[in-house]
Structure formats: C-alpha cells, structure tokens
A and B are shown apart, each in its own frame.
Chain A
C-alpha cells in the first residue's frame, strides 16, 4: 500500500490520535499520540490490509530546541513490502511512553537500549535495565546535552592527548 493510503487508513481508524503526516520527505512519517501507541501498534500488526509483522527498529531522537524527545518506530510488512514510520513526541524533562513489548517481542531489547542511551521510561516493560552501559553509569549519552562524568568507579575517563606529550 502507498504511504498516503496507509496513513489515511490510520487517521480514519484513530481520529485525533494520529496526525502530522508528512509526505514530501524521503520517508513519510506520522505522529502518534503517546497515549495511543500500543493500540495503534496492535492495530497495524493485526489489520489484514496492513500486516506490519515486524518492528524493524525502535530508536529515539533528541531535540533540545523543541524540548522534546521523539521515539521513532520503523515497521515493515514482509507480506505487502511496505513500510511505516511512527513518531511519538515526549517531553524532554520526563519522557515516558507505554512499552510495545507485548506487540513485538523484540521491543524488549530496543526499549532497553533507548532507556539506557536516552533515558526514556517505557511503562509496562518487563525488565527495564541498562543494556550497554554499566548499571551505575550516570546520564544518558545520546542526549545532546550529555556531559561525560569525569571518573567512573575511581578511574579517570579523561586522558591527556598522547601526541602532544610526545611533541613536548
């Protein structure tokens, strides 16, 4: 199905919850109300005309200027060979959204990664722990305003540039 038709179908199914469809870009996307993310995802997976069986990717974008964190869902349908991009805007100071783990199992790890690197809380997630970084790490590195801690566990994370030392 063409991108336009997919979004038209979504908008008629969830009036007021799906909107902001952008068509004149490389990859069309639409915004979903964070409250409705699970029902929208379940609908697009089960609808026989859409059949988005796989969650290809789940990640986030940090937009400090707009004070928001955007969670981005890339869905794909092997049956119809079409793609859908959903985005949910969350407030930057307290980003939280429902987990889609019960729709696609793979979301479990994707969401752990986004939690680890962006600090987005996924409500209803079965095991929301850091995945890449140590449990006691401070901060979420993929945020634009992230400042690396000066030391970790008593070990400095800073190193003087080796070349300058040799030149001296």
Chain B
C-alpha cells in the first residue's frame, strides 16, 4: 500500500496488513475474492472483487432464440437452475400471453421445491464446513445426492436441468417418480432433525454465529437483501406468498423468519436457521403437490418460432437466494431484445463491505457463509 507509515517516537510502528482472500479459497464458494485490510485479527475493510465467473449470460440472451435461451439460464445459478428456468419462462409467457397447463404448473413446483432443498443443503452444509464442522457437510451432500438422482429421473440432468420450458415442462413426472419422491420425503424429514442435532444445536457452532454480523432491517432494505437474508432480518416477505405466482396460492406453507432466539435479530444464526426451516416447508409443499397433481398435458402448445409481441415485463420468482428478477424486453422478433437477470447474491455481496468493518477474520467467513452468496449468480 502507498499510505504513509506513522512512525512512533520509540521507532515502533503498526501497519494495516492487506491480505487477498481468494479467488481460490474454500470459504469463498466459487471464484470470488476479497481484499482484506486487517489490524491483527480485526478487519478494517473487506472489499469484494467479483467478475471471475462473468459469462455474459445477458448478452448471450440477445443472440439466441427465446426457446434456445432456456439452457443458458441454467448457468445463471447452477445450484438452483430450476428457478432461473422458471423466471425466464414466466417472463416469456407473460409477454406472449401463453397459458401454462395445470399439470405443468404442479410439475414446476415439484421440481423447484426439490431444487430448493438441494440448494439449501449445499448452503448449510458448506456453511458448517467453513465454520470448521466437516461431518455435517458430508451428510448434507449425501442427501443432496438423492435429490440429484430424483432430478435425473425427472429431467435427465443432475445439475443444469433445462426442464422448465415456455408453456410448461419438458417431460411429465411419472407415477413411479412421484412414489420415489414421497419415499425420499419420508426419509428426509427425520434427517433434518438429525442434522439439527449434528450442527444447528452444536454449542461451538451456535457460539460462532450468535450475534455475529448483525444486519438491521433498515440495512437489509437499503441494500435490497432478499430471500432468507431478508427474512433473517425479521421481515416476513416471500414472493411465493406475497406476489403469488404459479400454483403457490393453493398450497399451504409457513414463511419462517428470524427471531434472534439465541443472539440478536438478524445475526448469522438467524439466516442459517431460516434456511433449515425452509427445507421443512418445502417438504410440506412437495407432499401437497404430490397429492394434488392433476391429470393432463405437461406442456401447452407453443409455436416453435416463438415471437412475443413488443413489450417488456419484470418477473420475480422466489429462488433459494431470494427474489430473482427477470427484466425481459421484446421487440417482436425471434430474439429477446434484452434479458436482465437480477439476482439475490449480487445485492448480498454488496453489503459485505459495510458489515465487515470491525469484525474478526473468522467472523468474515461466517458472514460470507451466512449470506449464502454464490459466485456464478453474482457474475452471471
């Protein structure tokens, strides 16, 4: 650094140390970097440096057809590809006035909620690993593996699904698969309790998180935190409940919010705890969907040459990392005029600079983990 070093009378002096955390660091979950200035163990500034995973997904959107763009949306957030699929398809449907079939809507919800559980498992699992608990990570990944198998059965892919299409879903969910999903739920619900015994109720884990990196509601709004991070700060807001889409109004589920029951409202533990409870809510939703799954076609008839009339719309879906917004503009041609993807991780990342002032290096890791930022989703 080119700052002048203050020399003290005795000839001793102290100096801030600048450390680069990442881009390849286990706690950064993907490729992102922090330039951290520390005074011993205390951080005075942590500047996020992003863009390592920028794949210009928005520009690609202007070069491919509407149908052809769906596989690209998978890559916006590869831990929760289903939601980006759904967001883009909902925007295209809204622009063109396409009706989704009822069975298609239920298939979407089933696939999305399975994906939400998988994504949250990665989040809480890696979070434990960052804090120093290796075992829960393995347990979480084992459960996610079963979901991956189910996903493979549903759509043939384990990570980048390309399942939700304009007008419905690519493949119908078979009765055998429904049986296996229900079997998985029977198995998974007790696992959440086991996971709580293993990690959430662990004394060391709790003490590492309680009261650490508290986000006030005011900050959460100003920095536009969304999803579990916003709910962790105490606002009961869920797009599925408050700006209903798909068949969510027909389903019953709670929206978990942070309560600060072991530390302060809006601390790292609240954000973590919201995710754990959301997995349980997703199980509830899945059980209802499997019961209500109607008969009929899984996809509506949509022309191959898809040309929505000129116009624009902004569509929100509740992804695991919160409000994912698709701002899609059509000029009436075969290609979208502009596709903008607004993601939860991007805004969550921007608050780290503010929160990191004055916390310990170890707490920075807890902060990054608790915000559940996902590098591909930041950079797109």
Contact = CB atoms under 8 A, between A and B. Distances in A.
Interface stretch (B133-141, B188-196, B216-224): B216-224
B237 A142 contact: no
Interface string B65-108: 00000000000000000000000000000110000000000000
Nearest to A72: B327
Nearest to A29: B312
Nearest to B379: A132
A104 B314 contact: no
A143 B94 CA distance: 26
B312 A25 contact: yes
A62 B58 CA distance: 13
A9 B36 CA distance: 46
Contact of A104 (B224, B354, B379): B224
Contacts of B50: 131-132
A16 to B, nearest CB: 25
Interface string A47-79: 000000111110101100000000010100010
Contact of A27 (B314, B347, B349): B314
B235 interface: yes
Given A78-B237, A133-B51, A57 B379 contact: no
Given A53-B221, A106-B222, A109-B349, A85 B338 contact: no
B223 A56 contact: no
B325 A56 contact: yes
Interface in B28-69: 50-51, 54, 56, 58-59, 62
B249 to A, nearest CB: 14
A26 B56 contact: no
Interface of B is mostly: mixed
B312 A109 contact: no
A95 interface: no
A99 interface: no
Contacts of B379: 132
Nearest to B337: A61
Contacts of A27: 312-314
Contact of A131 (B51, B224, B243): B51
Contacts of B347: 106, 109
A131 B52 CA distance: 10
B340 interface: yes
Interface centre among B224, B243, B327, B342 (most CB of A within 10 A): B224
Interface string B303-331: 00000000111101000000101010100
Nearest to A104: B222
B95 A26 contact: yes
User: By CB atoms of chain A within 10 A, which of B51, B62, B237, B337 has the most?
Assistant: B51
Nearest to B47: A127
A47 B50 CA distance: 35
Nearest to A26: B313
A144 B235 CA distance: 40
A54 B327 CA distance: 16
B350 A54 contact: no
Contacts of A53: 221
B51 A132 contact: yes
Nearest to B309: A26
A105 B354 contact: yes
A34 interface: no
Contacts of A131: 50-51
B127 interface: no
B346 interface: yes
Contacts of A142: 58-59, 338
Contacts of A134: 51
Contacts of A72: 327
Interface string B215-249: 00001011110000000000101000011000000
A57 B237 contact: no
A61 B338 contact: yes
Q: In this complex, which of B59, B94, B354 has the most chain A Cβ atoms within 10 angstroms of its Cβ? A: B59
Nearest to A27: B313
A132 B53 CA distance: 8
A106 B312 contact: no
Nearest to B219: A105
Interface in B350-380: 350-351, 354, 379
A130 to B, nearest CB: 8
Interface of B: 50-51, 54, 56, 58-59, 62, 94-95, 219, 221-224, 235, 237, 242-243, 311-314, 316, 323, 325, 327, 329, 337-338, 340, 342, 346-347, 349-351, 354, 379
Interface of A: 25-27, 53-57, 59, 61-62, 72, 74, 78, 81, 83, 85, 104-106, 108-109, 113, 117, 130-134, 141-142, 144
